[in-house]
Chains A and B, each alone.
Chain A
Amino acid sequence: MNEESPRPPRGRRWLAYAIAALVALGLGVYAFRLLPDPAPGSRDSGPLLAVSLPDVDGHPQSLSQWRGRLLVVNFWATWCAPCKEEMPMFVEAQSAHGAKGLQFVGIAVDDAVKVRQFAKEIGLNYPALIGGYGAMELSKTLGNTIMALPFTIVIDPKGKVVLTQLGPVRPAQLERLVADFL
Chain B
Amino acid sequence: MPKPALAESLLRKPRHVGAPVARAPALVGIALLVLEIGAAGAQVKLLPTEEAFRFSARALDARTVEASFAVADGYYLYRDKLRFSATPPEVSLGPVALPAGKVKEDQFFGKVETYRDRVVVRLPLDHAAAGQAVTVRAESQGCADVGVCYPPNAQSVTVTLPQAGAPPGPLIDANPPRKRWFN
Within the complex, what minimum Cβ distance (angstroms) separates B175 from chain A?
A: 15
Which residue of chain A has its CB nearest to the CB of B12? A2
A77 to B149, Cβ gap below 8 A?
Answer: yes
**Which residues of chain B have C-beta atoms less than 8 A from A147's C-beta?**
48-49, 150-151
Does B1 belong to the interface (CB within 8 Å)? no
CB-CB contacts of B124-152 with A at 8 A, as 1s and 0s?
00000000000000000101101111111
Stretch at the interface among B15-23, B63-71, B89-97: B15-23
Complex CA gap A137/B151 in Å reads 11
B29 to A81, Cβ gap below 8 A?
Answer: no
Complex CA gap A7/B11 in Å reads 13
A26 to B109, Cβ gap below 8 A?
Answer: no
Does B167 belong to the interface (CB within 8 Å)? no
**Which residues of chain A have C-beta atoms less than 8 A from B16's C-beta?**
5, 8
Stretch at the interface among B30-38, B54-62, B115-123, B155-163: B30-38
Taking A2-B11, A5-B12 as contacts, is the C-beta distance between A81 and B30 under 8 angstroms?
no
CB-CB contacts of A134-164 with B at 8 A, as 1s and 0s?
0010000000001111100000000000000
Does B108 belong to the interface (CB within 8 Å)? yes
CB-CB contacts of A78-116 with B at 8 A, as 1s and 0s?
011111110000000000000000000000010000000
Within the complex, what minimum Cβ distance (angstroms) separates B161 from chain A?
A: 34
Does B164 belong to the interface (CB within 8 Å)? no
B151 to A109, Cβ gap below 8 A?
Answer: yes
Within the complex, what minimum Cβ distance (angstroms) separates B68 from chain A?
A: 22
A19 to B107, Cβ gap below 8 A?
Answer: no
B19 to A148, Cβ gap below 8 A?
Answer: no
A15 to B107, Cβ gap below 8 A?
Answer: no
B30 to A22, Cβ gap below 8 A?
Answer: yes
**Which residues of chain A have C-beta atoms less than 8 A from B30's C-beta?**
22, 26
Within the complex, what minimum Cβ distance (angstroms) separates B114 from chain A?
A: 11
Taking A23-B25, A81-B107 as contacts, is the C-beta distance between A149 and B148 under 8 angstroms?
yes
Q: Number of B interface residues, CB 8 Å?
A: 40
Within the complex, what minimum Cβ distance (angstroms) separates A40 from chain B?
A: 16
**Which residues of chain A have C-beta atoms less than 8 A from B143's C-beta?**
80-82
Within the complex, what minimum Cβ distance (angstroms) separates A83 from chain B?
A: 7
Tell me which of B15, B23, B28, B146 contacts A7 (CB under 8 A): B15
Complex CA gap A2/B149 in Å reads 70
Complex CA gap A168/B44 in Å reads 13
Q: Name the residue among B8, B16, B151 with the largest chain A CB count within 10 angstroms.
A: B151
Within the complex, what minimum Cβ distance (angstroms) separates B15 from chain A?
A: 6
Does A20 belong to the interface (CB within 8 Å)? yes
A79 to B141, Cβ gap below 8 A?
Answer: yes
A5 to B15, Cβ gap below 8 A?
Answer: yes
B33 to A167, Cβ gap below 8 A?
Answer: no
Within the complex, what minimum Cβ distance (angstroms) separates B43 from chain A?
A: 11
Complex CA gap A33/B33 in Å reads 10
Q: Can you spell out 27 A-B residue pairs with CB atoms less than 8 angstroms apart? A: A1-B11, A2-B8, A7-B15, A8-B18, A19-B22, A20-B26, A22-B26, A23-B22, A23-B26, A26-B30, A29-B36, A30-B32, A30-B33, A77-B149, A79-B141, A80-B149, A81-B108, A82-B149, A83-B149, A85-B108, A85-B147, A109-B151, A146-B46, A146-B148, A147-B48, A148-B149, A166-B46
- Starting from the known contacts A19-B19, A25-B29, A150-B147, 8 additional A-B residue pairs (CB-CB under 8 Å) come to A15-B19, A16-B22, A23-B22, A82-B143, A84-B107, A147-B150, A148-B46, A150-B148
